[in-house]
Amino acid sequence: MKPLVIKIGGAILEKADALTQLLTVIAQLQQQQSTPVVLVHGGGCVVDDMLKQAGFSSEKKNGLRMTPAEQMPIISGALAGSVNKQIVATASQVGLNAVGLSLADGNMASCSLNPDGLGAVGIPKAQHSKLLDSLLKAEFLPVVSSIGMIGTVNNEAHAGELVNVNADDAAVVICQLLNAELLLLTDVNGVMDDTGSYLADLTENQASKLIEAGVISGGMTAKINAAFYAANQLRRSIAVASWQAPEQILTLLSGAAIGTRIIPSNAA
């Protein structure tokens, strides 16, 4: 059975019941369909709260978080610490054997600094799947936070430093490592067009027009860009759907349509 990578973040992390319901569905996937699952998460809402408590302000550029180096201890502590371990603890309550990880563990991914002046923000590249392969074979649920590490390619001056990674990009890397299906969960039922209707599928050309018109904006822009990157790399469609009806995930692997399907350019 092909693995399934599920990315979560944002509002679901503030709703304990919704997270529990999603993890219960993941347990059913493992038990009833023998589907290996990896859960990848961000947690911008928690990061914002912890930065505010520490006296820092949060800024974004094109939907991506600006990350001054002095904020990384707080951001890594929030994502790889508080959020990651809360998900692991909740997973254990529904019978899952969860293991909390970051992109840096097991040399899963190596990062380079984002060149767009975002600070300690990394662009991840898939490296080794050995750790994930071992955990999935043993029926664990890897829970991967979007904290990465700068690699040593070209003897980069920042090698070994921790960086913040967009969680959608982190999910793409994990998907590439495992040749897995990818599901990006958000707090809406999919991508809307300019009339406010949800689209069953979306091509890159359509997305460009919606972004240009401001229909797709902010964090959704980053999510859609990551989804198209994944779809084009994997040469298959990617689902963007809501975590508010997690039972739909049980039908996804049987070919049912949920949310908005992101169509790779080679299939458009």
Query: Given this model, what pLDDT does residue 63 score?
Result: 67
Per residue in 20-73, pLDDT tens? 999 999 999 888 888 999 999 999 889 999 999 999 988 887 767 889 999 999
How confident is the model at residue 247, as a pLDDT? 81
Whole-number pLDDT of residue 253: 66
Q: Which residues in the chain show pLDDT less than 50?
A: 154-155, 268
Phi/psi of residue 39, each to 5°? -105, 120
65 is in an annotated binding site: yes
Q: Is residue 119 marked as binding?
A: no
Whole-prediction pTM:
0.90
Q: What is the CATH number of the domain that holds 70?
A: 3.40.1160.10
Q: How many domains does the chain have?
A: 1
Query: Which residue, 181, 204, 223, is CA-closest to 263?
Result: 204
Report the 10 Å Cβ neighbour count for 89. Answer: 11
Which domain covers residue 53, as residue numbers?
4-267
Q: Is 44 annotated as a binding residue?
A: yes
Cα–Cα dist 20/24, whole Å: 6
Q: Which residues pair with 102 in a beta bridge?
A: 145
43 is in an annotated binding site: yes
Catalytic site residues? 7, 10, 44, 168, 223
